[in-house]
Amino acid sequence: MITKLAWRNIWFKPLNTILSIILLTSSVAIITVLILLEKQFEEKFNSNIEGIDLVMGAQGSPLQLILSSVYQVDAPTGNISFDSAKVWMQNPMVKRAIPLAFGDNYKGFKILGTTSEYLEKYGAKISEGKIFEKNFEVVVGSEAAQKLNLAIGDEFFGSHGSAEEGEVHEHYAYKVVGIISATGKVVDNLIISNIPSVWQMHGSHEEEAHEDEENPVHGEVGHIHEEGDEHEHHEHEITIDEPGMEITSVLLQMRNPMAKLTWQRIIPQNTKMQAASPAIEINRLFTLFGVGIDALRYLAYGIMLISGISIFIALFNTLKERKNEFALLRVNGAGRRQLLKLVLIESLLLCIVGFIFGTILGRVGLMLISKSSESDFKLSFNPYEFIWDKEGWLLLLTLLVGIVAALIPAIKAYTLNISKTLAHA
């Protein structure tokens, strides 16, 4: 009965009620997005660097090297000599070394040249088909296969670079031979081939372009789908032992913890390469992000404080107008505690409604952020996850704001003098 009366009372002044709900919804939505983003962002980044102690690549920004080689969200710092890299890859201190070669994409999804160890490192299993064995055979991540509508046996042409609008390489077609099961990691959004495929694709393309300059009559490039349309350079298939080739980077897992520190200094001193630590660079990235996240969190708490003040003002002002109503309730048998409860319940109902709407709005916001980040960085977030401990504390904080806001109006209702009120009515 009291709850029903409280619900009707909060709509006594609908504009005040709506303003309070909007402010609470906004603050809860911002904090909800931050809670989910922080947890999922950290989980995704940390899960992808497991088993990677160092990344060896061309000198430049260490963070750029990590982002491009581990997370596939930035341009690489350049290429390195595979022969030079092998010297370090075969060092006794190295437990596992996975070479990576970038170059092309298909409709925005990166085509990565590597070895089968890359799939093992991420625990990726072939759900359909088989692993790549020959040049231009590829296995496709679960997300990439679904979004690109690729199936076993499909063929496609890659575009140069990481931009979808890059020049299309029509002299070789990639063939899908396997689909990777979902891992929740970066491999889900990749198209993976062997390294010689990357070398042969770009090596033959450069040769072809050179031949076109010397002999313009033979400048047209055909598709391999036509029978007998294969070019002469198809006869020589490049292998992993091809001398003088370049790769983009190497993922290293070390046997000796000391090597993680010493190699970061030794490699740039003795070569044209660098060795960057994913753990160090990602911690630095989290520190940079942390400043912005903290600022947004403080903003959300500020909005919540304002919403609490708004609830207090609304209850305090309506209390003056409802003194006669409270006096009549007392005359009809309502006790002081019941009036106290009535005011508190009104405030708590506002907070609960604001929390529910804020939780929903926060997840809608995360869904939009996920679509945007998925389009730009192939990084998605789950808006349906509930982090019970942090969101539980957020609910308690929201209710506390409601209790504090209602405290003075509730005490006023509790100490209401019935005779004076009715005498002045």
Digit-coded pLDDT (tens) for 197-224:
999 988 744 444 444 444 443 333 333 4
pLDDT of residue 216: 42
Average pLDDT, the chain: 85
Report pLDDT for 84: 94
Structure token digits, residue 242: 């091809």
Close Cβ partners of 327 (under 8 Å, ≥ 6 residues apart):
416, 418, 421, 422, 425
pLDDT range class, residue 419, cuts 50, 70, 90: low
pLDDT tens by residue, 110-147:
999 999 999 999 999 999 999 999 999 999 999 999 99
Residues 53-108 have pLDDT tens digits of 999 999 999 999 999 999 988 889 999 999 999 999 999 999 999 999 997 899 98
Distance CA 142, CA 180 (A): 5
CA 89 to chain centre: 31
> What whole-number distance in Å separates Cα of residue 115 and Cα of residue 132?
9
Average pLDDT of span 344-371: 94
pLDDT at 420: 65
Is pLDDT above 60 for 422? Answer: no
pTM of the model: 0.79
What is the CA angle 113-115-116, rounded to 5?
130
User: Rg of the Cα trace of the chain?
Assistant: 32
DSSP 79: -
pLDDT in tens, 14-31: 888 899 899 999 999 999
Cα 181 from Cα 117, distance rounded (Å): 16
pLDDT in tens, 139-179: 999 999 999 999 999 999 998 877 667 788 888 899 999 99
CA–CA distance, 293 with 299 (Å, rounded to integer): 10
3 state DSSP class of 325: helix
E runs forming strands in 45-185: 54-58, 80-81, 94-106, 109-114, 126-129, 137-140, 155-156, 159-160, 174-180
For the beta carbon of residue 394, count every other beta carbon within 10 angstroms: 22
Structure tokens at 246: 């370049």
For residues 247 and 102, give the distance between their C-alpha atoms in angstroms, rounded to a whole number: 8
**DSSP notation for 351-366:** HHHHHHHHHHHHHHHH
> In sequence order, what are the beta bridge partners of 168?
159
